[in-house]
Amino acid sequence: MNFEFSREDKLFLESVKSFVEREIAPRWVEIDEGKYPIEEVVGKLSKAGLLGIPLNSKYGGQDGTFLQSALAAEALAYGDPSLATAVYMLLETAWPYVVQRHGRDEAREEILPEVTAGRAFVGIASTEPQGGSDVAALVTKAVREGGTWRLYGEKSMVTGVATALNLPYGGGFVTIVRTGALEERHRGLSAVLAMVKRRGARAGGFTYSNWDEIGRHGLPTSRLTFEGLAVEEGLLLGEVNGGFKIAMEGFNLARTVIGAASLGASKWLLDRGLEWVRQRRVFDKPVASYQGVSFRAAELFARLQAAQLAVYRAAWVADKFYSGDVAFTIHDVATAGAIAKYLAVSLAVETALEVMKWFGGVSYFRETNIARSLLGLLSYYVGAEGAENIMKLIIARGVVGRDFV
């Protein structure tokens, strides 16, 4: 057991932190208000080597690890606690990695270098209006016409559609589609890379409209309706009807790095809260001197350390599995990722609410900025990349056994 990061990881973290302090932290409120467009931020993330950290260097990646991805997300969310920047980075960790692992050469060679250069976005389109948790029940169809698939159906919450359309090359989504019968459940699903814009040209066969989000405004989420969007055979990921497992791989990785982003936001919230309660005097004493406050700070800090260990372990398990260590299975990656998201996201939301109470009435106003972080975190609390109960379901499968849960 070694609780120290390697020298390489320490140097990596230092360089990310100094990038974040210089380029992100001073402008995070502008990012949240959409005044500093994410498409511009993305160029900086690319130059800093933060897009596609675990991707192969032949695609412009860093040949890095999931632990490094987690450290980067944590540092980015400390600088932009609305989460938009960290979420962009973590989506570009998980879903392009899935394309690298399961995509055809033509897709990998053309699209991944555009992602790492900050010219394209690759996200996930799974959730449908009838529900997101039960992925095996989704109905969006892919119909084969010669060498092309045509997509029909609605994906109800897709992050990054507008962003992909605004980037110079464009982008697309690992899209989970039904290619078999509904009764086949997860065995009748395939994964394709549905491009809404490619080589600078917008595709036909789809419409979209942005949701009016309560938070994390820097990175919009949309409804995306497929009306015959064409997907070439070369954009199929893995085998026909093998899409469910591919989707789960991406979710496992994204959840781990979301856990890391939540740690960064928690740390930012706790630091701001502690600064405040140390200087704010009520009943002639600093607010921090009341045990009702200092003990809550102690609880939140202790749980932050515990969540940090869970997140770093989840990233380490992913690194072990993906580097071919046979002592680890994909189920280990899934359980560890679900634990990371479950612990870190709920802690961050609880920390935000507690810190708002420490600030008192002023926290209710946007100018204090605490609520901006809460509203960003809530996206993951209510469901993005899997609802809390679904994290418990995955953990229970690992702990109680898949035959029972």
Ligand X SMILES: Cc1cc2nc3c(=O)[nH]c(=O)nc-3n(C[C@H](O)[C@H](O)[C@H](O)COP(=O)(O)OP(=O)(O)OC[C@H]3O[C@@H](n4cnc5c(N)ncnc54)[C@H](O)[C@@H]3O)c2cc1C
Site of interaction with ligand X (CB under 6 A): 123-127, 131-133, 157-159, 221, 379, 382-390, 393
**Closest CA relative to residue 45, chosen from 161, 198, 219:** 219
Give CA–CA dist 320/326, Å, rounded. 8
CB of 264 to ligand X, least distance (A): 18
In Å, what is the CA distance from 342 to each residue of 20, 246, 338, 386? 26, 21, 6, 10
Closer to ligand X by Cβ: residue 124 or 300 = 124
Closer to ligand X by Cβ: residue 167 or 274 = 167
CB of 160 to ligand X, least distance (A): 7
Closer to ligand X by Cβ: residue 68 or 346 = 346
CB of 386 to ligand X, least distance (A): 5
CB of 115 to ligand X, least distance (A): 15
CB of 383 to ligand X, least distance (A): 3
Closer to ligand X by Cβ: residue 68 or 256 = 256
Kindly tell me the burial class for residue 290, based on how many C-beta atoms sit within 10 Å of its own C-beta (0-12, 13-18, 19 or more): middle
CB of 219 to ligand X, least distance (A): 9
| Residue least distant from ligand X (Cβ) | 132
Closer to ligand X by Cβ: residue 20 or 390 = 390
CB of 379 to ligand X, least distance (A): 4
CB of 316 to ligand X, least distance (A): 25
Q: Tokens in use for 147?
A: 């060498």
CB of 6 to ligand X, least distance (A): 33
Closer to ligand X by Cβ: residue 124 or 318 = 124
Closer to ligand X by Cβ: residue 68 or 82 = 82
* Residue 141 backbone dihedrals phi, psi, to 5 degrees: -100, 150
Closer to ligand X by Cβ: residue 322 or 342 = 342
**By the 8 A CB rule, do 71 and 13 touch?**
yes
Closer to ligand X by Cβ: residue 67 or 135 = 135
Closer to ligand X by Cβ: residue 129 or 360 = 129
CB of 128 to ligand X, least distance (A): 8
Give CA–CA dist 375/265, Å, rounded. 11
